[in-house]
Amino acid sequence: MLSTYQPCELVSVKKRLHGRKYTIRIQESPEGGYTGQCLELPGAISEGETLDELKSNMTEAIQLVLDGLEIMSKKDKKIVIEVQS
């Protein structure tokens, strides 16, 4: 079944966590409140009745995704790269 959800408004907000900035795509829900998705970590998704609540919930969602990635990759070899924009 296709959703009839139509975003009323799209906004980008930068959140800082561990010295990093994350862009949150925010959609205003027709039923009230907001949903958000982190563009850099697509698995970090949350919602809130207000923008302040959404920001708080997104911070927690981002932290949970980062914690999960850290746990899953402890045994993996890693490299760090820098991409110039």
What is the per-residue pLDDT for 70?
83
Which among 63, 62, 27, 65 has a CA at the least distance from the CA of 47? Answer: 27
Please report whether residue 80 resides in a domain. no
18-61 pLDDT, tens per residue? Answer: 678 899 999 999 999 999 999 999 999 999 999 999 999 999 99
Q: What is the domain range of residue 42?
A: 10-72
Burial of 38 (0-12, 13-18, 19+ CB in 10 A): buried
Q: How many domains does the chain have?
A: 1
List beta partners, residue 26: 11, 36
Q: What is the CATH number of the domain that holds 68?
A: 3.30.160
Please tell me the distance from the alpha carbon of residue 74 to that of residue 9, in angstroms, as a whole number: 39
Please report whether residue 16 resides in a domain. yes
Please report whether residue 52 resides in a domain. yes
Please report whether residue 63 resides in a domain. yes
Please report whether residue 33 resides in a domain. yes
Please tell me the distance from the alpha carbon of residue 6 to that of residue 61, in angstroms, as a whole number: 23
Please report whether residue 50 resides in a domain. yes
> Model's pTM, two decimal places?
0.71
The amino acid present at 4, given as its one-letter code, is T
Please tell me the distance from the alpha carbon of residue 6 to that of residue 8, in angstroms, as a whole number: 6
Please report whether residue 43 resides in a domain. yes
Please report whether residue 4 resides in a domain. no
